[in-house]
Structure formats: C-alpha cells, structure tokens
Amino acid sequence: MKVLIIKMSSMGDVLHALPALTDAARVFPEIKFDWVIEENFQEIPRWHFAVNEVILFPWRRIRKKFLSKYFFEELEKFKLKLQKEKYDFIIDAQGLLKSGWVAFLAQGLRCGYDFQSSREPAASFFYQKKFFIDKMQHAITRTRKLFSSVLNYSYQDSLPDFGILENKIFQFKKKQEKPYVVFLHGTTWKTKLWPENHWIELAKRLNKQGLSIKLVWWTELEKKRALRIQENISDVDVLDKQNLHQMAELFFNAAMVVSVDTGLAHLASVLGVPCISLYGPTDPKRTGTLGKNQIQLYSQFKCAPCLQKVCHYSGFRKTDPPCFSEITALRVEQEIKRVMYGC
C-alpha cells in the first residue's frame, strides 16, 4: 500500500502527524508513505522509519514572487514530481485550502476531514472521502483517528509513538558536563511569549541551584532577546544557530527544557526529555506537548485560552501578555525542583 501524506507546516503540526504513521505501520507492515512538506521542515519526515520519499512544496520560497514566471515554473516542477506516483490513498492531514489544493493535484483517492472538522471548512470540497473527527481533541489524536478512518483499522488510545527513536541519527551518547536547562523563548505569536523579565529571574534562580542555562534562537529577533536575557547573569550561554539535529542532541543531554508554546517543545517531547511548557493564549488540551516527562503550565486568566495572536484585554496588566501573570519564575522553578529532585 502506498499513501501520500500532506502535512506541510508548521514544526509542531508536522511532529504531531508522526504517531499516525507509526499506528498505520503496525497494522500494515508493508505500508510506505510519501510526504508533501514545505522546505523548512523537510528534515522531520525523513526521521520516521515508514517514510519513503519527501516531496518539497516550495511555497515559502516562491510566494514572494507571486504570479511571476519563476512562481509558475517552480509550481510546475512541484506538480510534475507530485504526479509521478499514483497512490492508494492521499491523506490531507492539514485541512487547509492550500493543502486541499495540493491533494487535488495528486493522483489517488483524496481523503481528509469533513466540512465540520477541517481547519478551513472549504478544504473538504477537495476530498473524495471525508471524515468527521471532533475538533475538541488533541491534534495528535485527531490525526491518528483520521488515519485509522481512512485506512480502516481500529484506533487504539495509547501514548503516541513518534517512530523516530529507532533512527540511528538519534543514537546520542550522554555527555559528561555540568547540568543545564535549555530555554526555548521564541515563538511566532507575540501573545505566546513569556515575559522577558520572567526568563531573567528564572535564569538567576537556576544558577543558584548550580544549573547552567543554554539559550537557542532561530531568528535575529530571538537572538537579540537571548542576548538581553544573558546580560548580567553569570552562567548563561547563547548558542550559535542550531539545525534540528543539533537541537535534538542539545535536548537529549539537557536536565530540563523550559519552553513557550513552540514547535521545538514538541521535539523535546518526542525525545522524552523532561520539558515544562508554558501556555497563555493557547490550549494545551489541543496542541500541548504529549508523552513521557511532559509538564504543562497553563493560564487561569479570565480570557484564556483566547487563541488570539493579538491580545485584546483592556483591563489592568500585571504582565504583558496578562495571561502569564500567575505563571511566574518561582512557579516554574518549583516544577523544575519537583521533577529533578522530587521536592
């Protein structure tokens, strides 16, 4: 059986899809998946044992030259590669108009979420077989249930198996060095950013416990924030820019990861690294980290989770964004002590 998966972005969404492949491969050991993904995230599908070919969708690269000759030439190259194979099933696990259109271009039985279940309901018009998968579930569960519905096997409610730890590239060796905590402070939504002064206070508290801090960054804006957090703190290291494999090794050797709601937190969870994830405007019940050693601290603020990229709260703000007011550095430190030292 040959199946095409369409799950093009973002990092967290792509990682969320991996357990569905593992489920299917356990039922159908000979199954092979091709995967359509945006170029930035192409590394991730290659980690899974059941993925045969990765087909790169060049959208982020070509959209800046929308309707130009280059734009149409690159789309035609993508289309030709996509249509080289005829698939038994095409599964759009994203549920967007963009991903639905890609499914329409491919050859095979097009399957996806129905009108009520799709993130963009009109995407369902591209599919030949449609399935209702309740939105009020975690994204991993939704994808696993979609695959079981399309491929007609019984869904088993179990801890997700991301299917990548068998990959030789993840056979890291523990390094003998001072215990450290990784701070994942960067994310795409301004409302998901834990206040900078909280990171600084937490770094000082952890330094007093003998823990060093590693700060990572992907954008220049994140690098500048990392350098500000580092100022006047003795044992904080701002690392050079890391690729995903380097990040994975960094996490593997960490005593703990502390993260805002970002895709890299899911990489930590995939590896089973203890991770405390901080949720203000977003809902961990739908998109939170899952798996062993995962702790979610979520806001109890009156309007959380609002799922908004812009904060519209008009009252008094103790912090900015206000939904992080009760998720303090002290509270995070206490969770770290509980996990690391059992106190």
Does position 166 have pLDDT exceeding 90, yes or no?
no
User: Rounded to the nearest 5°, which phi and psi values hold at 146?
Assistant: -65, -45
Task: Name residue, tokens 């309707």.
Answer: 67
| Displacement of CA 212 from its chain's centroid (Å) | 26
Domain regions of the chain by residue span: 2-151, 175-341
pLDDT in tens, 132-142: 999 999 999 99
Task: Say what the pLDDT of residue 272 is.
Answer: 85
Q: Is CATH 3.40.50.2000 the right assignment for the domain spanning 175-341?
A: yes
Longest dimension (CA), the chain: 63
Give the model's confidence band at 174: pLDDT under 50 very low, under 70 low, under 90 confident, else very high: confident
d(CA 18, CA 330): 35
User: Rounded to the nearest 5°, which phi and psi values hold at 226?
Assistant: -60, -45
String of DSSP letters for 45-111: HHHSTTEEEEEEE-HHHHGGGTTSHHHHHHHHHHHHHHTTSEEEEEEE-S-SHHHHHHHHHSEEEEE
DSSP-derived 3-state class of residue 35: strand
Say what percent of the chain tops pLDDT 90. 73
Weakest mean pLDDT among 65-69, 113-117, 332-336: 65-69
Task: Say what the pLDDT of residue 173 is.
Answer: 73
Cβ–Cβ < 8 Å for 8, 36 = yes
**Four-CA torsion 60, 65, 70, 74, nearest 10 degrees:** 20
Weakest mean pLDDT among 22-31, 164-173, 211-220: 164-173
Mean pLDDT of 146-162: 94
d(CA 205, CA 211): 9
Top-confidence residue, 221 or 291:
221
Q: Is CATH 3.40.50.2000 the right assignment for the domain spanning 2-151?
A: yes
2-151 and 175-341, same CATH topology: yes
Write out 220-245 in H/E/C secondary structure.
HHHHHHHHHHHCCCCCEEECCCCCHH
pLDDT in tens, 44-95: 999 999 999 999 999 888 888 888 888 999 999 999 999 999 999 999 999 9
String of DSSP letters for 188-223: S-GGGPPPHHHHHHHHHHHHHTT-EEEE--SSHHHH
Mean pLDDT of 94-105: 96
pLDDT in tens, 218-261: 899 999 999 999 997 889 999 999 888 889 899 989 999 999 99
Average pLDDT, the chain: 92
